[in-house]
Amino acid sequence: MDIQIKRGILDICVLAALQTEDSYGYKIIKDVPQELGLSESTLYPILKRLEGAGCVTVYSVEHAGRLRKYYRITSAGRARIQDFLAEWTDMVEVYEFIRKGAAQ
């Protein structure tokens, strides 16, 4: 998969993992489809980028004597998911056009 496409999809998948509840790094990695190959070294730069863009906020909670960072999706993050889904619908139409041409 093209690295730029994968990067955009990973950003959206991380946001999607936060739609139902706030979460922390390890759990986000487990929640995102394994096929995308999300690792700690990939996740934390994504979370930092999403925080900088105003798509997530961060807070800490004590867990087993240590502080654990939790991430919460913002309204901007939810809007980014909706924008992606609208663009993806257009891309599916392009995909179908290309696939039909390749099948001939």
- Position 100 pLDDT exceeds 90: no
Cβ(33)–Cβ(39) below 8 Å: no
CA-closest candidate to residue 16, choices 77, 86, 87? 77
Query: What total of structural domains would you count in the chain?
Result: 1
CATH classification of the domain holding 57: 1.10.10.10
47-59 per-position pLDDT tens digit: 999 999 999 999 9
pLDDT greater than 80 at residue 27: yes
- Quick one: pLDDT at residue 56? 99
Give me the domain span that covers residue 88.
3-103
- pLDDT per residue over 72-98, tens digit each? 999 999 999 999 999 888 888 888 899
Which pLDDT score, from 0 to 100, does residue 1 have? 62
